[in-house]
Each structure stands twice: as structure tokens, then as C-alpha cells.
């Protein structure tokens, strides 16, 4: 499966680079745009992105609320940016970020289960607004004839499959008897085949599972509208950051074009094997907006400015945050 995704990534990246290549002729014109840029919009874009990340921090704070442990809002924000940095510094399909999150949250009293589950919950909740915007990109592809009915059906089947797995996993976790039996069988299987290296205490594991399920039940007491507001706030303000980058260059674009271009870029960057759509998003964003009718120089300058703010600036902050968190630990 990993090799399949890597192959798909290389194919998609090759297509994007092929389409991006003609835009390189626009580099001089794109650089000239910054001579007449409205620099006030750069500060607005940075501010909007920081508020967007505050919504992401709030989303994580809501998810962590029922679990044992305590961490301040500012420190949680620093932890999230540190995760974003380490996933790029140590590419490992996100494993480096998961490990750093578990270690830093562990210093504040959170278990590995709580750290991993809340990260998964964040991913699922953000997928809803991302999917809402991506549907606009699919709609454009259908109207333009670049996506066939068979391709749409395939994407729908994949989406249904993922939704089914998420729903089944959620039901399994909530069902105490089934989850306990499953854990018991897995522990017995592990001890039978790998017990000579490290035996697992089934009673200890079941007690941790019971504590986790007890905290999970409390999660349902958090109003769902708060999760929705935090997730949609994160995504909408990220889109607004991109819109401010076009205003920076004095070339505002229609809201429909902005949403469609953002959604199509999400679809393409989702194929990237590297975190944050690294490489894919940087190249595909100018290509997508240019194909939507935006002048090549504007699409190139606005796209690269947005990536500098939304991706690289936050990871620079993450590096600094990581050093501070490690020194204080």
C-alpha cells in the first residue's frame, strides 16, 4: 500500500511539474508584482493564519478536555507547531510527530492512548470541512470534463470505505465487552508468538482500556457545535489567508474561484507522501489557479506567498517552540 501511494505520488507530481514548468517564465513578472504590492495585506494574512492555528489549538484542547492531564492553551499551541516542524525535519509518514506529541503531552499527565486518540479525532473532524471545500474542486473537475463518472464513483467508494472504518472503530471502542475481548485475544496472540521477547500483562492493559473508555464517555459531554466551530474556523481562516495573499498583489479573485482552487489543491496535495503536501502543494497551487483563469504571474506569486506563511512560517515557529519546550522540560 505504501509503495502504491508513493507511485501515485510520483505520477501526480510529474503531471503537476509538467503543468508548472511553463509558469517558470512568469517568475520575473511575479517578482515585479511585489514592487507594487499592498504590504498591509501581508500582515493581515499572517494574523489570519495565526488565528486559524488558534482554532486548531482550541480543537485539540476540546478533544483533550475529558482526559486526565492538564496543559495550557499557549503550551498546547507550541506543541502543535513543534509537531508540524518535526514531521518535516524527520519525514516518517507522520510517526515523528505522533511520537513527539505523546512525549510532550505525557509530561503534562496525558496517556499515550489519549494523545493518539485525540490526534485521530482532530484528523477526522478537520476532514469534514476539508471535504466540503474539496467537493467544490470535484464539481469543477466534473464540469470541465477532467474527471469522469468512473473516477467520481471510485472516489466515492474510497470515501465510504474510510467512513465505514471510522464508524466501526468508534463503535468497537465504545462497546466495552467487545473491545475487552479483542484486547484479550490480541494479548494472548502476542504472548504466544513474541512472549519470549516481552510479555504483555493483559489485566494492566484492560485497566488502561477501561480508564480510556471512561474518559471517552465524558467526551460526549462536550458540545458538538464547539468541535464544528473549531474545525470550520481553522479551515475557513486558512482559505482567508490565501485570499489575503491575492489582495496583497492587488488582484482579488472571486470567492467561488478561491474555494474551488483551494479544494482542488487539497485533492492534489492529499496524494503527497510528504507531510503538509510538501512539494505537491507548492507546485499545484499556482497551476490550479492559473487553470481557473488567474494570470500566471499572480497565481505564482500568491501561491508561493501563501505557502511561505501557512507552511514554512509555522514550521519556523515550531522549531523555536520545540527548543523552548525541550529546554523547559
- Residue-level pLDDT at 1: 46
Q: Is residue 221 part of a domain?
A: no
Q: For the chain, which ranges sit under pLDDT 70?
A: 1-25, 93, 137-177, 179-180, 183-184, 187, 190-191, 194-198, 200-217, 269-282, 328-329
Cβ distance 299 to 286 under 8 Å? yes
Place of cell 501581508: 42
Cβ distance 238 to 52 under 8 Å? yes
pTM of this structure? 0.77
- Domain around 242: 2-147+227-328
Reference 257, options 247, 243, 268, 270; nearest CA is: 243
Place of cell 497551476: 287
What is the Cβ-side half-sphere exposure of residue 184, based on CA atoms within 13 angstroms? 8
Reference 247, options 39, 10, 13; nearest CA is: 39
Q: Is residue 222 part of a domain?
A: no
- Residue-level pLDDT at 6: 52
- Residue-level pLDDT at 293: 83
- What confidence tens digit (pLDDT) does each residue in 104-141 have? 999 999 988 889 888 888 988 888 888 888 777 666 66
As a whole number of angstroms, the distance between CA 113 and CA 209 comes to: 9
Q: Is residue 87 part of a domain?
A: yes
Q: What cell was used for 270?
A: 492529499
Q: Is residue 168 part of a domain?
A: no
- Residue-level pLDDT at 22: 54
Measured in degrees and rounded to the nearest 5, phi and psi for residue 67 equal -90, 155
As a whole number of angstroms, the distance between CA 255 and CA 240 comes to: 10
Tally of domains in the chain: 1
Q: Is residue 40 part of a domain?
A: yes
- Residue-level pLDDT at 134: 73
As a whole number of angstroms, the distance between CA 98 and CA 114 comes to: 12
Largest CA distance in the chain: 70
Q: Is residue 159 part of a domain?
A: no
Place of cell 476540546: 62
Q: Is residue 108 part of a domain?
A: yes
Q: Is residue 210 part of a domain?
A: no
- Residue-level pLDDT at 205: 63
In the chain, what is the straight-line distance between the N-terminal and C-terminal CA atoms, in Å? 38
- What confidence tens digit (pLDDT) does each residue in 204-258 have? 666 666 666 666 667 778 888 999 999 999 999 999 999 999 999 988 888 878 8
Question: In a 10 Å sphere around its CB, with 0-12 CB exposed, 13-18 middle and 19+ buried, how is residue 256 labelled?
Answer: exposed
Sign of CA dihedral 271, 275, 277, 283: negative
The CA-based angle 291-275-240, given to 5 degrees, is 50
Amino acid at each position: 500500500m505504501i509503495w502504491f501511494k508513493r507511485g501515485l505520488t510520483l505520477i501526480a507530481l510529474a503531471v503537476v511539474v509538467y503543468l508548472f514548468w511553463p509558469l517558470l517564465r512568469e517568475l520575473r513578472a511575479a517578482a515585479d508584482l511585489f514592487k507594487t504590492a499592498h504590504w498591509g495585506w501581508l500582515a493581515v494574512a499572517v494574523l489570519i493564519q495565526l488565528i486559524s492555528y488558534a482554532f486548531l489549538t482550541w480543537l485539540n484542547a476540546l478533544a483533550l478536555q475529558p482526559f486526565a492531564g492538564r496543559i495550557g492553551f499557549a503550551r498546547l499551541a507550541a506543541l502543535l507547531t513543534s509537531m508540524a516542524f518535526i514531521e518535516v525535519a524527520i519525514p516518517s509518514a507522520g510517526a515523528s510527530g505522533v511520537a513527539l506529541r505523546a512525549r510532550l503531552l505525557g509530561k503534562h499527565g496525558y496517556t499515550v492512548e489519549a494523545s493518539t486518540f485525540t490526534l485521530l479525532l482532530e484528523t477526522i473532524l478537520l476532514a469534514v470541512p476539508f471535504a466540503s471545500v474539496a467537493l467544490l474542486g470535484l464539481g469543477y473537475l466534473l464540469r470541465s470534463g477532467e474527471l469522469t463518472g468512473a473516477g467520481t464513483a471510485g472516489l466515492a467508494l474510497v470515501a465510504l470505505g474510510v467512513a465505514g472504518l471510522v464508524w466501526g472503530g468508534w463503535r468497537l471502542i465504545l462497546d466495552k465487552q467487545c473491545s475487552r475481548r479483542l484486547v484479550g485475544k490480541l494479548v494472548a496472540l502476542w504472548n504466544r508468538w513474541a512472549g519470549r521477547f516481552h510479555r504483555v500483562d493483559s489485566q494492566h492493559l484492560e485497566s488502561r482500556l477501561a480508564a480510556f473508555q471512561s474518559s471517552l464517555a465524558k467526551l460526549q459531554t462536550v458540545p458538538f457545535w464547539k468541535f464544528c466551530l473549531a474545525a470550520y474556523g481553522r479551515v475557513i481562516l486558512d482559505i482567508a489567508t490565501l485570499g489575503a495573499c491575492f489582495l496583497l498583489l492587488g488582484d482579488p479573485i472571486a470567492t467561488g474561484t478561491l474555494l474551488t482552487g483551494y479544494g482542488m489543491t487539497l485533492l492534489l496535495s492529499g496524494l503527497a507522501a510528504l507531510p503538509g503536501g510538501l512539494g505537491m502543494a507548492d507546485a499545484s497551487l499556482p497551476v490550479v489557479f492559473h487553470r481557473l483563469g488567474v494570470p500566471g504571474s499572480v497565481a505564482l506569486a500568491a501561491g508561493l506567498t501563501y505557502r511561505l506563511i501557512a507552511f514554512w512560517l509555522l514550521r519556523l515557529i515550531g522549531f523555536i517552540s520545540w527548543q523552548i519546550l525541550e529546554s523547559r522540560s
